[in-house]
Amino acid sequence: MTAVSTTVHRILLALLAVTGVLVGSWAYFAPKHWYDTFPGLGLRWLPQLGPYNEHFVKDVGAFYLGLTVLSVCAFVYIANATLVRVAAGAWTVFNLLHLVFHVQMLHMYEPRDQVLNVIALSTVLLVSLALLLPQRAPTP
């Protein structure tokens, strides 16, 4: 299996942490706005999936923020390969199940939004999977 540098792992963790803090903060602290306007840029992907529920939306935000904390800890303690793998595993499980759900719901979207959903969710899944690659041993 290909080993990657700790710099690559830090970049992947940073990408996941940024995703987590942006989505998590938005959903938790502005739940109705997040529900009505996610993912932004004039797109609206949530209303067609069901009615607004503040409890559910805040739980989503809290979950993303929890994953952010895990990602930041793995970023700081990058030499702890177990912690990095735990972060990778947690994100991978979430991202895979999230993608599977949304693929089953693609019929609710216009073609442009179908493609963008698959691209966005596949990208974060690939980032979390890449984080599972072992770290290259540091050179003396």
Task: Kindly report, residue by residue over 73-106, the tens digit of the pLDDT.
Answer: 999 999 999 999 999 999 999 999 999 999 999 9
DSSP class of residue 132 equals: T
Find the farthest-apart pair of alpha carbons in the chain and give their distance in angstroms, rounded.
57
**Is it the case that residue 140 has pLDDT exceeding 70?**
no
Average pLDDT over residues 123-138: 91
- The pLDDT score that the predictor gives to residue 107 is 96
**For residue 9, which of 121, 123, 68, 88 has the smallest C-alpha distance?**
88
- The pLDDT score that the predictor gives to residue 137 is 73
pTM of the model: 0.92
Alpha-carbon distances, residue 15 vs 10, 22, 111, 122, 131 (angstroms) = 9, 11, 27, 14, 11
- The pLDDT score that the predictor gives to residue 76 is 98
- The pLDDT score that the predictor gives to residue 139 is 60
Which tens digits make up the pLDDT trace of 11-62?
999 999 999 999 999 999 999 999 999 999 999 999 999 999 999 999 999 9
- The pLDDT score that the predictor gives to residue 4 is 85
**Out of 27-36, 105-114, 131-140, least confident range:** 131-140
CB atoms within 10 A of CB 94: 18
Average pLDDT over residues 105-120: 97
Residue burial 36-55, b: 16+ Cβ < 10 Å; e: rest: ebbbeeeeebbeeeeeeeee
- Helices H / strands E in the chain, number of each: 5, 2
